[in-house]
Amino acid sequence: MSLPTSAQPTPRERSPLIPAFLALFLLGGQVYLILARGFANVLETPFLPYCLLGAFAIHMAARPSRLEQTATLFTGCLLAYGFVGLRPEFRWTWPNALAGASAFGLASLAVLAWSVLRLRGSEQWEKLGTLIGGSIFIYTSLFIAFVLKLTAAWHPKTYDLYLYAADTGFRIPIAALAGHLLRNHSDLSWCCALVYESLPLAVSLLYAYERSGAQPLAIRVLPAFLGGGAAAYLLYNVLPAAGPVYIFGAQFPDHLPAFVQLAVQAPLREGAPRNAIPSMHLACTLLIFWHSRRLSRGAYLASALYLGLTVLATLGFGEHYVVDLVAGVPYALLFGAVCAPNAAVVERKQAITVGSVLTAAWILLLRFVPLAFQSPALAWPATAATLAICYAAQLRFEQAWRRNRTHSEIPESEFPDTRAGWQPADPLSAGPAG
């Protein structure tokens, strides 16, 4: 006798070994990468501690039980003490303290893995989803470091002088001024370095908010940031460039040339990654800023400050040219619209079209017609037009998405055509459709 269809177990309920295997695989890889070398990976990879802290934030946003929270905090304290208290060579530096704090992220992953192993059914898969969300930025940061090393081998020569020549069209040494500002203000420089390295944590916090279900966002965080990153690495092969500090070295920021002759040459610093244009740092922080509008005012102001410090850091540390940041704006618009849930079709297509066309235009023009940007008559208007068009497209898309969501949440009984006595208007007197 077979069970009724409604009583038959779902595939998720029939396959507890699959999530258990995935949980052990994810946790085992992280234990090897982090603990097997005494947290050396955390100290050597500047973004990794923030990925682990992001995993802790994602775990806590999933509203674990009080017992699970207690187990996580207790395990995190033990791991942190093992890193801080049981290492004779430990010194209280910022990287060491950050590595110790990141132990709470590893504790979250361990507790989540244990929960996946002991639970069954939908709860098991829900915990696995949280574990994957907390792990993915860790593995991604390590994979990115590997891929960026390959770009140096694939492209021994770069187009840095093309981008620098385009920057001279602004007639203001913007990157050099930012570099002077950071060099002369150590506290500001430290804040910019913190912001620059903590991008994985900022993205994780936005993803944690999305998973908490507190309020819907007009973006699917993981597809947007991971997909945008993957596509950016393809674009880096179209116009490989490293950044002014890699091509000019000690000349940055005090002795930068006013003009340069266009040439394709290798950067001065060996092994520099070719990840200048479009700026993913700018694109990611801009997406965070745009989608923090519906959060609290404090979160929105914090995201605005984070965006401003990111712009200052990318230029002041010599990691990017001004045109890299400009090209990052339509790129952010593109992937934000591509990865929007329940999006308005017309406005979404408009945003995707604007973002893709402007991103391609900047990269291709800088690659093949860089001399055109040496004129202020093109550099400034092109930049202003790009920013204005992208802002208008993003605002229009957000408003349409909000209207569509509000409309979909109205009960059917409240629509006019369901009310008693309502009659449709005469189509001939309504005028042409808009």
pLDDT on residue 382 = 96
Confidence of residue 403 (pLDDT cuts 50, 70, 90): confident
Closest alpha carbon to 290 in 335, 327, 235, 325:
335
Cβ count within 10 A of residue 183: 13
Q: Which carries the bigger pLDDT value, residue 57 or residue 433?
A: 57
Better pLDDT: 203 or 96: 203
Name the token pair of 428: 């001939």
Nearest to 207, CA basis, from 28, 53, 47: 53
Q: How far apart are CA 339 and CA 207, in angstroms?
A: 13
Range 326-343 average pLDDT: 92
Please state the pTM of the whole predicted model.
Answer: 0.86
CA distance 261 to 248: 14
Query: Is pLDDT above 70 for 134?
Result: yes
Tokens of 374: 């040496």
Residue 37's pLDDT band, with cuts at 50, 70 and 90, is low
pLDDT at 146: 82
- Give the pLDDT score at 385: 97
pLDDT at 48: 85
Give me 311's structure tokens: 């712009």
pLDDT interval class at 379 (50, 70, 90): very high
